[in-house]
Amino acid sequence: MLLPCTKNFCIDDHDFQEMLPPLGATINQNQTTRLNKYIVSPFNPRYRAWEIFLIVLVVYSAWICPFEFAFLPNKKDDALFIIDNIINGFFAIDIFLTFFVAYLDSHTYLLIDNPKKIAIRYLCTWFIFDVCSTAPFQSISLLFSNHHGSELCFKLLNMFRLWRLRRVSSLFARLEKDIRFNYFWTRCTKLISRNTMKATSEFARRNQLPRAVHDQMLSHLCVRFKTERLKQQETLNSLPIAIRSSIAYHLFLPTLHKTYLFQGVSQDFLFQLISEMEVEYFPAKEDVILQNEAPTYLYILVSGSVDFISNTTPGQDQVIGKAHAGDTFGEIGVLCYKPQPFTVRTTELAQILLLNITPLMNIIQANVEDGNIIMNNFIMVKQFNL
């Protein structure tokens, strides 16, 4: 049983992996949180409930369809006739709804919410079969009741309803990858994740830590376990330094170009910086920097958002600013050699680049001209904000 305070992070583990922003994906590139108007996310809880409801109707259709074919004649005043047409109506609604449901691109792992692409994809795959399985052949057969052999023909056509079993197959394919149903991952979670969570909770209780700190610790562990399962860092660490640098350059160069500190610096300088950077995911409501903390990293926000919080009044947090994709924070402490002036707290799942102060200063000292540009950019922006 998972700890209550980790429920929001650990229950929908399969969904989390599919929705986790790819490395280097900004808010504009990663469309997991904001979709086009009238487009529904396939991970929306209400849409998932609708899918489960349709599964129940599929099970009914799979049972009644062969029974009607073998034993029952078509009668418009029959209760089964009315029920079948009502069920057909629900599946017709689902066909219409499918044109407004985003899908996950198998190559980029991003949600596609372009209505035209959604329509083309559906029309080229299951649309014809779904229409055939929903068509009211029973009702149509009544128009040809006087034709010899027409009843058998329409009964055969009515067997198209068994195509709906595809939904059951899709459901089991999804559940097979779900941590709640997948035996292997359940065992891994029990052996590793659960023990770590339990130890963390015991540590928090033993030291009487505040509930907010306790929740932050557990949230961080959940994100760490889930990102480790994606094997991103493991894959990168297995590669030579030159290849890792090239990958990081491809993924994060657009983000660095947006960062005000690095406006006007040379490409060679950026390449040196990128090779020293690390990337981490932070869950919502986690403190990335604490006020008056000694400077250790320069932070660059790739996706998500953070709040700048002043803790001048004990027990009262005052939001004094925000940062979004492409913004930096922690630069005041790093460049001015002073404690961090405010707390930085995530407001949603955030992907952040971390650059340690030691290699940053070494690179700046080796590239004096670029270092001067960085300081000028820093001073100019801070004077403008005063």
Q: What is the pLDDT along the chain (386 residues), one digit of tens a residue?
A: 333 333 333 434 444 444 556 555 544 444 444 678 889 988 888 988 898 898 888 888 888 877 776 666 666 557 777 888 888 889 899 999 999 999 877 665 567 889 999 999 999 988 888 888 888 777 676 666 665 555 667 667 677 777 777 777 776 666 555 545 555 555 555 556 566 767 777 777 777 777 777 776 776 666 666 655 444 666 666 677 777 778 888 888 888 888 899 999 998 999 888 888 888 888 878 888 888 888 899 999 988 889 999 877 766 778 888 988 888 999 988 888 888 888 999 888 888 899 999 999 999 999 999 999 999 999 988 777 65
What distance in Å separates the CA atoms of residue 249 and residue 271, rounded to the nearest whole number?
A: 7
What are 329's strand-pairing partners? 299
- The structure tokens listed for 156 are 């055969």
What distance in Å separates the CA atoms of residue 266 and residue 247, rounded to the nearest whole number?
A: 19
Q: How far is CA 206 from CA 202, 203, 214, 215, 251, in A?
A: 6, 5, 11, 15, 42
The strands making up 350-356's β-sheet, listed across from edge to edge, are 278-282, 350-356, 297-303, 328-329
pLDDT at 12: 43
Q: How far is CA 243 from CA 82, 347, 360, in A?
A: 64, 33, 21
DSSP state of 295: P
What distance in Å separates the CA atoms of residue 329 and residue 311, rounded to the nearest whole number?
A: 17
What distance in Å separates the CA atoms of residue 183 and residue 6, rounded to the nearest whole number?
A: 20
Q: What is the DSSP string of 110-178?
A: -EE--HHHHHHHHHTTTHHHHHHHHS-HHHHHGGGTTSTTHHHHHHHHHGGGGGGHHHHHHHHHHHHHS
What are 313's strand-pairing partners? 316
Residue 279's closest CA among 331, 227, 240, 315?
227
What distance in Å separates the CA atoms of residue 44 and residue 46, rounded to the nearest whole number?
A: 5
Coil, strand or helix: which one is 216? helix
What distance in Å separates the CA atoms of residue 36 and residue 71, rounded to the nearest whole number?
A: 48
pLDDT at 119: 93
Amino acid at 187: R
Residue 246, CB-side half-sphere exposure with 13 Å CA sphere: 5
Who contacts 113 (Cβ-Cβ below 8 Å, separation ≥6)?
Answer: 31, 35, 36, 39, 102
What phi and psi values does residue 280 have, to the nearest 5 degrees? -140, 155
| pTM for the full predicted model | 0.51
pLDDT at 4: 35
DSSP H/E element including 81:
helix 79-98
What distance in Å separates the CA atoms of residue 217 and residue 206, rounded to the nearest whole number?
A: 14
What distance in Å separates the CA atoms of residue 103 and residue 84, rounded to the nearest whole number?
A: 29
| Gyration radius (Cα) of the chain, Å | 28
Q: How far is CA 295 from CA 79, 129, 260, 341, 358, in A?
A: 74, 61, 19, 10, 10
Question: Treating both helix axes as pointing N-terminal to C-terminal, what angle do 45-71 and 79-98 enclose, rounded to 10 degrees?
Answer: 140
Angle (CA) 352 42 229, round 5°: 45
SS3 labels along 328-365:
EECHHHHHHCCCCCCEEEECCCEEEEEEEHHHHHHHHH
What are 298's strand-pairing partners? 355
pLDDT at 363: 92
Where does 239-385 sit in CATH, by number? Answer: 2.60.120.10
